[in-house]
Structure 1
Amino acid sequence: MDDDGELVHGGWLTTGATDGAVRTAGLLPVLVGAHTVRRLELPVPTMLPALLRQMLLPVVLDAIGVPRTRQEWAERFERGRFLDAEVARLTDYLGPRYGDRFRLFDGKRPFAQVARLEALNGETKSPAQLVPSIASGNNVPLFSSVTEGDELLLEPGQALLWLLHAHCWDTASIKTGAVGDPQAKNGKTTGNPTGPLGQLGVTVPVGRNLFETLMLNTPIVPDGLDPADRPQWAWDERPASLGWKSPAGPEWSPRPAGGLLDLLTFQARRIRLIPCETEQGPLVHRAIVCAGDRLAQTLESDPHTAWSHTVKPKAGPSQRRPRRHASGRSAWQGLGTLLALDLPVDGDGPYTSVLLRQAGDLGAEDVLPADYPLGVEICGLEYGTQSAVVENAVSDSLPLPVASLLAEDDWLRFAILECVGQADRVGRALDNLNNDLRRASGGDPLPRDKGQRPSSPFLHSLDATMRRLLAGLRTVGEDDDLLERAQLAWELSVRTAAVREAEALLAAAPPRAVVGQVEKHNGKEVVYRSGKAVGLFHKKVAEILTRLPGRGSDNGEAAA
């Protein structure tokens, strides 16, 4: 990468190729050879949607255009790579047309930044403020190896990735007031929301290589893109009548997204990276992060989130709100949301993302074969203290059978959701067993918001089994017997894990739990003792795992 931080050809993006090699390349070579890129080597999982949305997808969509029909999408996907004509359009787009706007340190139009941005107090800060895992300001991670007082030097490629990450995920903390921003007061700007992705439960479908991943994240738009919808690097082509502030200047405005390209490249912050010259070339050693545009409302066409649908919303809120991921749960425990293909009618509930619904439609037309190795990456950040700090990161990946996304053929989807539901119900049975043993020992049930419940290690122990099941169901076809055997094997695994956890709970119970305790509930005396608790647990498990031969409560009493 040269002194200007040239991004089109400079080697800033590390990729893992399909031949196993790890290479670095610029934006254009990576896109042209997307069919040979197996994965992008990124510092954190939340970087993938940031890079896709802020750079890769909008470049491809704006240069080549969006598919308007499923047939057009299918033709592109089945080719497996960009055609020579499409490569020529990408080359022109990142060359004569906009190539000069993809320079990280350009003096006039630095990429995704504001040239000559200055803080009202004249100060600059460490680029650590771009990296959530490093202590900076009020954001002080527990295990940060770098403090705010340490000098942090970022290579240009690293700085670019964290720049894009900040536009998507930055905290809602107070921002430095910028010179030329009339809305800054007392040297700062308050009331900032988090970056747009911080308000979503991000779901990214992935394929066998980068080309397929780009296609799987390309929505079909029947009317095409609005000519007024421009990415951030082409902001000067937007109609002046919109009255929106230029992302290349210090001023900002609360506004809606003007379309898909504007949404993907939304500039939620005004940022300037400040490099210094070293023996290794230019490195970023200071940064300024100020308030940026505020997204007035998340578009219901946002392709990368699932939704919570409310049948009868209160006055004001939309019927549909982004559904965020919950920490402490594997992605497969949220399959009820990922596979929610129909809008709730009788009550409130989840509704899956635009792209997963589209994948199901393409699967129904055999564009995506039933055995296609579709994957899903989920990620999110959890914020604390008025969303000014990052408390936790959520990320996971999951194999997903295409057949489970077919709207008109729900047999496989119901089977998968039955397996998920069984694990959840058995987990609750374990929690109830734990509470009954605590009562039998003379104690109180575990408080709802304290301590680790036995269902947590139990569900964790099933993680690898569920992933093998989902991967195997890609090839189940219409073989009902094979599906039944798979579900039977699942139930065996669930029972084995549950019994193992139950035996550990029973072994930890004190001897007085055998005699038990008597408590009054609603005027009635209830006896709690270990033998009864284990018997009830085994009975409940037998009711849940219906394909297994019933073991009854006798074994539970005998074990006690």
Structure 2
Amino acid sequence: MINASGGTRQGHYMEGVKAMTNEGDLVHDAWLNAVARDGARQPVGLLGALSEADTIRRLELPVHTMLPVVLRQLLLPVMIDALGAPRTRQEWGERFHRGRFTHDERDRLASYLGTRRYGARFRLFDAERPFAQVAGLKSLNGETKTAAQLVPSVASGNNVPLFSALSEADELLLTPGDAVLWLLHVHCWDTASIKTGAVGDPQAKNGKTTGNPTGPLGQFGVVVPTGETLYETLLLNTPILPDGLEPGDRPQWAWDERPAGLGCKSPAEAAWSERPATGLLDLLTFQARRIRLIACETEQGLRVHRVIVSAGDRLAQTPEVEPHTAWQHTAKPKKGQPHRRPRRHTSGRAAWQGLGTLLAMTLPVQSDGPYTSLLLRQIGDLQGSGVLSGQYRLGVETSGLEYGTQSAVVENAIGDDLPLPVKALLAQDDWLREALLECVAQADQVARALDGLNNDLRRAAGGDPLHRDKGSRPSAQFLHSLDGTMRRLLVGLRTVGEGDEELLERAQLAWEQSVQIAADREAGLLLAAAPPRAVVGRTVKNGDKEFVYRSGKAIGVFRTRLADILPRAAEERRVEREEAAVA
């Protein structure tokens, strides 16, 4: 048969045939890979993932940016809409400490996802209402594109990853399970490239739509708190809503239940609008694109091989009820600008290097600065009120995409996970938080000192210092070498209590000693690489002043700076020298 791009292939193309298959039932088909608490891997459907969430440690997903996609577009809105959001800390705590859904809650989830309610709307290939798609969507030029358009790591159009195993000429076949994951990933993270103009979209011009923003998650750095089970992760990502959900707030699969006065376009039609989110459920399931998956029958079963991706709803701005971002607060913004804007993650930096933002529990009203996410503030509040233990083993996953060339291509993916002491989130008692931030600041200061040493050695050898954004810097390798040490420190500090000042002091001393060892190692490598002429050095004139650069002087300055940055380690070495002299 003739495919959508004019070629031929074996198999039967299944466009728009309602009775083509029973595959693509997201509620019951086992398409999500779950890792149980004992480490066993078991595929589950949407209902199974929710009902058995207490037995699942985590979901095994293809990329780091996929966790917030599955939480926001599926698990959280189904749970919140079916069971309601907790209205008080006490209600949240009762759910959390129970550790699982009750029989009644499981029945309500099953009923919500049953055929009498929304179950039929979770079918990927339904002819009339395919999940998160527009049935019968057609491009103005009548063409479709390869399924690679859904996957940022595969070459497609202007997005040409350096290490892609496939070229745009290769056909990518996605299983129904993979297809729905990447479908939802596009709604959340898609690039801002020109989109295919769709039949029925009055804003399409010349066969295309321009001016598209990235998907909503692409506009900030995502911060997701995680627990020891999927059930705990769901609760940790559920905001407490004292007044309940906003009137008329519905998820995308129940768009027809939204009041007409809200002015929302149907996500099941080609037309779209720029608008604010009407509430939490709308925000979590925001349909930033209009998409149609096109499947074919192969020897391996049903596969998605072609797609249409057109412009979708544009979020007017990230609302302050957005639960998964930290904020940059500006005390005196420019006219028309908000006081708070979402913060992005910095490429090349580990999550622990951004602890200053994650632990910023108070709003800097009189000055500019970071303010942590709504969910981390809520966790700190729950710990402060005794609902959540200070020794709870909290994790945080950060993710983001770095876009290039007018945000039309993906240049880099950012992803990390971090153990986080819950006590550090308690705004009223900042002793642990200050200790952690001191450790992070010390690593940053030593890194800058190493770069300074490198520049001084380059000058001593007759060269010039590295330009700020050019060359390989010793600080990068140094900070990378500290990654495991910092994570061990964070895990150890999960159990530190208020009366454990001595334990905290010993932990900080051990940290400084580890930093000292790593810094000495990097400094030794720099010194060994310096040519012999660096020993003699040179004199550089700058105006009326002269500066002498020699390797011996450079390493002396570095060690003095190191002693100032790491006072505990310096004092420990001084005491050891004195004791050795007496002996």
**1:97 counterpart SS class:** coil
Number of corresponding residues: 553
For residues 549 and 100 of structure 1, what CA distance do their matches in structure 2 show?
Answer: 67
2:557 equivalent in structure 1: 536
2:427 equivalent in structure 1: 407
Out of 51, 56, 66, the position equivalent to 1:37 is 56
Counterpart contact for 1:228–1:258, Cα < 8 Å: yes
For residues 275 and 441 of structure 1, what CA distance do their matches in structure 2 show?
Answer: 64
Aligned alpha-carbon RMSD (Å)? 1.2
Correspondences of 1:51-90 after superposition (within 5 Å): 51-90=70-109
1:558 equivalent in structure 2: none
Out of 27, 47, 50, the position equivalent to 2:46 is 27
1:428 equivalent in structure 2: 448
2:12 equivalent in structure 1: none
Cα offset for 1:407? 0.6
Q: Any gaps of 5 or more consecutive residues in structure 2? A: 1-19, 578-583
Cα offset for 1:44? 0.1
Counterpart contact for 1:3–1:282, Cα < 8 Å: no
**1:374 counterpart SS class:** strand
Counterpart contact for 1:2–1:10, Cα < 8 Å: no
Q: Does 2:475 match 1:455?
A: yes
Deviations 1:68-119 (A, max 9, x none): 1100100100100001111111011000210000000000000000000000
For residues 24 and 350 of structure 2, what CA distance do their matches in structure 1 show?
Answer: 39
For residues 300 and 55 of structure 1, what CA distance do their matches in structure 2 show?
Answer: 21
For residues 88 and 109 of structure 1, what CA distance do their matches in structure 2 show?
Answer: 25
Out of 363, 366, 378, the position equivalent to 2:398 is 378
Correspondences of 1:462-477 after superposition (within 5 Å): 462-477=482-497
Out of 13, 22, 27, the position equivalent to 1:8 is 27
Correspondences of 1:161-176 after superposition (within 5 Å): 161-176=181-196
For residues 194 and 251 of structure 1, what CA distance do their matches in structure 2 show?
Answer: 18
For residues 225 and 159 of structure 1, what CA distance do their matches in structure 2 show?
Answer: 31
**1:400 counterpart SS class:** strand
Correspondences of 1:109-124 after superposition (within 5 Å): 109-124=129-144
Residue type of the partner of 2:555?
V
Deviations 1:207-237 (A, max 9, x none): 0000000000000011000230000000000
1:315 equivalent in structure 2: 335
1:47 equivalent in structure 2: 66
**1:123 counterpart SS class:** coil
**2:570 counterpart SS class:** coil
Counterpart contact for 2:516–2:569, Cα < 8 Å: no
Residue type of the partner of 2:391?
D
2:512 equivalent in structure 1: 491
2:526 equivalent in structure 1: 505
Deviations 1:211-265 (A, max 9, x none): 0000000000110002300000000000111222100000000000000000000
Counterpart contact for 1:104–1:110, Cα < 8 Å: yes
**1:362 counterpart SS class:** helix
Counterpart contact for 1:117–1:272, Cα < 8 Å: yes
Residue type of the partner of 1:71?
Q
Cα offset for 1:365? 2.0
For residues 131 and 542 of structure 1, what CA distance do their matches in structure 2 show?
Answer: 49
Cα offset for 1:2? 5.2
For residues 436 and 246 of structure 2, what CA distance do their matches in structure 1 show?
Answer: 39
For residues 234 and 200 of structure 2, what CA distance do their matches in structure 1 show?
Answer: 38
Q: Does 2:332 match 1:305?
A: no
2:360 equivalent in structure 1: 340
Residue type of the partner of 1:79?
R
2:547 equivalent in structure 1: 526
For residues 444 and 548 of structure 1, what CA distance do their matches in structure 2 show?
Answer: 32
1:256 equivalent in structure 2: 276
Counterpart contact for 1:28–1:91, Cα < 8 Å: yes
Residue type of the partner of 1:371?
Q
For residues 380 and 7 of structure 1, what CA distance do their matches in structure 2 show?
Answer: 26
Correspondences of 1:149-168 after superposition (within 5 Å): 149-168=169-188
Q: Relative to 1, partners in 2 of residues 1:32 and 1:9: Cα closer, same or farther, differing over 3 Å?
A: same
For residues 2 and 324 of structure 1, what CA distance do their matches in structure 2 show?
Answer: 42
**1:248 counterpart SS class:** coil
Q: Does 2:507 match 1:481?
A: no
For residues 315 and 276 of structure 1, what CA distance do their matches in structure 2 show?
Answer: 53
Correspondences of 1:66-465 after superposition (within 5 Å): 66-95=85-114, 96-465=116-485
For residues 276 and 544 of structure 1, what CA distance do their matches in structure 2 show?
Answer: 63
Instruction: Report the more deviating stretch, 339-348 or 65-74.
Output: 339-348
For residues 179 and 532 of structure 1, what CA distance do their matches in structure 2 show?
Answer: 71
Residue type of the partner of 1:450?
K
2:37 equivalent in structure 1: 18
Q: Any gaps of 5 or more consecutive residues in structure 1? A: 556-560
Cα offset for 1:4? 4.6
2:535 equivalent in structure 1: 514
For residues 115 and 466 of structure 1, what CA distance do their matches in structure 2 show?
Answer: 50
**2:319 counterpart SS class:** coil
Counterpart contact for 1:12–1:157, Cα < 8 Å: yes
For residues 505 and 530 of structure 1, what CA distance do their matches in structure 2 show?
Answer: 10
For residues 20 and 543 of structure 1, what CA distance do their matches in structure 2 show?
Answer: 46
Q: TM-score, normalised by structure 1?
A: 0.98
Counterpart contact for 2:23–2:176, Cα < 8 Å: no
**1:54 counterpart SS class:** helix
For residues 432 and 140 of structure 1, what CA distance do their matches in structure 2 show?
Answer: 37
Counterpart contact for 1:203–1:377, Cα < 8 Å: yes
Percent identity of equivalent pairs: 73
**1:379 counterpart SS class:** strand
Counterpart contact for 2:222–2:325, Cα < 8 Å: yes
**2:448 counterpart SS class:** helix
Counterpart contact for 1:3–1:281, Cα < 8 Å: no
For residues 169 and 219 of structure 1, what CA distance do their matches in structure 2 show?
Answer: 22
**1:430 counterpart SS class:** helix
Q: Relative to 1, partners in 2 of residues 1:488 and 1:256: Cα closer, same or farther, differing over 3 Å?
A: same
For residues 60 and 102 of structure 2, what CA distance do their matches in structure 1 show?
Answer: 25
Counterpart contact for 2:23–2:29, Cα < 8 Å: no
Cα offset for 1:355? 0.3
